[in-house]
Structure 1
Amino acid sequence: MLSAASGAVVLAAALDWTLREPPSRGHPVALFGRLVAPVDRRWQRPKFVGVAAAFALPLVAAGATAGVVGLAALVGSTAALVAAGFALFSTTSLRMLLDAAGGVVEDSDTDPETARRNLRALAGRDPTDLSSGELRSAAVESVAENLADGLVAPLLAFALLAPLSLPLAAAGAAWVKAVNTLDSMLGYRHKPVGWAPARLDDAVMWLPARLSAVLVAAAAGDVGALSRAREWARAPPSPNSGWPMATLAAVLDVRLDKPDVYVLNRNVALPTPADADYGIRVVAVAGGFAWGLALAATLLADRVPVVVLASEVAAWV
């Protein structure tokens, strides 16, 4: 029988695959965005404000999530499972990402204007002058990067904290998602207030990005892609996003190119529609692995309570 944490993982995965996203009007990430919006302006001491926002706002999101799941737990274990499952669902995204990327690839040759318009929901770049191959490159880059940001990172936080308590696990996933959202809204070079959110996101995403690269290589059955990707992974300005993107470039043996910013796997061609479709399928399998690992971790935690693990570690030390 599944525990509340394991059941929450299953529920969140099922909701992601069937509903794709919570309703936009009440989406917790959209609500958090409204909380962040007043910070996005000029300040006399922007770095101080950025540090305060990076510290406080994700904690607000985590505290609210923990409170909701904790109140549900007072009703019963089933209510706690449902609350935690919806919380985890609201912090993760895979199916909508895959569908959006697939649409861009499908239209890249036949209707590039539509592809350019739809790319805006996936990638933060100006699509106006992108060729068909560059549109496919952007879609492939986005699914690889967002595998880490939108799925692996919150799942990892949830799985690591689930042995302690269900409200804490849900809060961990919400905190990670809030950090990533704060960075996506503020963490740009031209926004001095974004320095602290960007640095915090860099620290939080260090492990999820590299774990995502491993999952991509495993999904493709090409472990050697990791060593080939090492050569290009540091090309993007981000210290993390290059790892899953470069690994997918190695798997596909294609060039991924963000004009005037970076090039991954420079000496080969941009992805064809078939290449891009295969890349999206690889990320889908990698995402399935991520959900499976999160479920396995919560099931293992049920069998080996955290108190036992802590005592064993203390005895070993």
Structure 2
Amino acid sequence: MELASPASVPAAVSVGVSAALAVAIAFLLDTTVGEPPKRLHPVAWFGLAVAAVDREWRRPRVVGTLALGLPLGAAAIVWAVVSVAPGPAEALVAGLVLFVTLSRRLLRSEARAVIAASESDPAAARERLPALAGRDPESLAPEELRSAAVESAAENLADGLVAPLAAFAVGALVSLPVAAAAAAWVKGVNTLDSMLGYRSKAVGGPSARLDDLVMAVPARASAVLIAGVALDPAAIRRAAGWARTPPSPNSGWPMAALSAAIDVRLEKPGSYVLNPDAAFPDVGCGLEGVRLVDRAAIASFLLSGGWVLGLGGVLG
């Protein structure tokens, strides 16, 4: 077996420590700050670029395919910014980038607020739901509002946390700038799909297909995390029977795993039903579902941090 050169070992260890520090910075900021103001949020700036594409085109598929370059452009900018950061500042900049690709605290608090208000003040819950789920809240009963909030919490675990963290961890095998760029690219792909990837928008077909590919592993990993923190490994087996019910090939996995773990019915009217023999979540079950998702989110931080911290041994 070839031995690592003395110079390569400190470099490998440095990459692992710096990447772990970046994950810790992102976690600390997510826990204490939540999200930057919209006017200062890079994802909101990216959304302005996507909005310019969101209209009717003579050749929508061509334009939609060209729009896939937007996440690549964002990733290139991030790579350049992190690359020029001096010394120890590289980990800080990478941590800031990772932080803005994540959404844990805000989504958790919004989901809790909708669930808590669903019984006592359904009108307030309906007013808050669009921040979580893209469905018309006006016709939803209180139990359906809770279902939507629980579903959104589970789905956003995958695309709002696990996917960018996983991309960062894999990118750290190459370098810290590549890790940050990978997280930014995944966030760009998810944002592109969330704005364009609807059947009613011909321009969104390419972004929807790319998002399906990118999210295949994170969605299933999120389901495993939910079952793990629930101490119910069999929830994955039960969830497999419902996971393919939603139109998306991926979002059903974390939602079905959570539905199985807390044994509740989750339903989007006119689209899908998960765990159909169970009852809708009451307020207590809904809040427990959000707590499970939050534990899975913390577990994903710990796993990704541990992975990148071990890169010194892998690369050495």
Distance in 2 (CA, whole Å) between partners of 1:163 and 1:250 is: 35
AA in 2 matched with 1:39: V
1:61 aligns to what?
A: 74
Structure 1, residues 257-298: CA drift from partner, whole Å, max 9, x if none? Answer: 100011101111100111001101100110011000110110
1:261 aligns to what?
A: 271
Distance in 2 (CA, whole Å) between partners of 1:300 and 1:249 is: 34
Pairing of 1:18-33 with structure 2 (within 5 A):
18-33=32-47
Question: How far is the alpha carbon of 1:303 from its aligned partner?
Answer: 2.1
1:115 aligns to what?
A: 125
Distance in 2 (CA, whole Å) between partners of 1:256 and 1:163 is: 38
Question: How far is the alpha carbon of 1:44 from its aligned partner?
Answer: 0.8
Distance in 1 (CA, whole Å) between partners of 2:17 and 2:239 is: 38
AA in 2 matched with 1:139: A
1:8 and 2:22 are equivalent in the alignment: yes
AA in 2 matched with 1:27: H
1:248 and 2:258 are equivalent in the alignment: yes
Secondary structure of the residue aligned to 2:254 is: helix
Question: How far is the alpha carbon of 1:97 from its aligned partner?
Answer: 1.1
Structure 1, residues 111-133: CA drift from partner, whole Å, max 9, x if none? Answer: 11010111110000000011110
Question: How far is the alpha carbon of 1:71 from its aligned partner?
Answer: 1.4
TM-score, scaled to structure 2 = 0.94
Distance in 1 (CA, whole Å) between partners of 2:204 and 2:126 is: 28
Unmatched tracts of structure 2, length 5 or more: 1-13
Secondary structure of the residue aligned to 1:190 is: coil
| Residues matched between the structures, number | 302
Among residues 224, 228, 234, which one is paired with 1:224 in the alignment?
A: 234
Secondary structure of the residue aligned to 2:267 is: strand
Q: Which runs of structure 1 show a deviation greater than 3 angstroms over 4 or more consecutive aligned residues?
A: none
Among residues 55, 64, 69, which one is paired with 1:50 in the alignment?
A: 64
Distance in 1 (CA, whole Å) between partners of 2:110 and 2:313 is: 39
Structure 1, residues 118-169: CA drift from partner, whole Å, max 9, x if none? Answer: 1110000000011110010000000000000000000000001112110100
AA in 2 matched with 1:112: P
1:179 aligns to what?
A: 189
Distance in 1 (CA, whole Å) between partners of 2:95 and 2:312 is: 17
1:314 aligns to what?
A: none
RMSD: 1.0
Distance in 1 (CA, whole Å) between partners of 2:288 and 2:75 is: 36
Unmatched tracts of structure 1, length 5 or more: 309-317
Question: % of aligned pairs identical?
Answer: 55
Structure 1, residues 20-64: CA drift from partner, whole Å, max 9, x if none? Answer: 00221110100000111111111111011111111x111111011
Distance in 2 (CA, whole Å) between partners of 1:223 and 1:143 is: 20
Secondary structure of the residue aligned to 2:38 is: coil
Distance in 2 (CA, whole Å) between partners of 1:275 and 1:37 is: 37
Structure 1, residues 71-114: CA drift from partner, whole Å, max 9, x if none? Answer: 11xx22x2111100000000011111111100001101111101
Among residues 132, 139, 152, which one is paired with 2:149 in the alignment?
A: 139
Distance in 2 (CA, whole Å) between partners of 1:222 and 1:94 is: 23
TM-score, scaled to structure 1 = 0.94
Contact 1:163 1:302 in 2 (8 A): no
Contact 1:8 1:84 in 2 (8 A): yes
Question: How far is the alpha carbon of 1:224 from its aligned partner?
Answer: 0.3
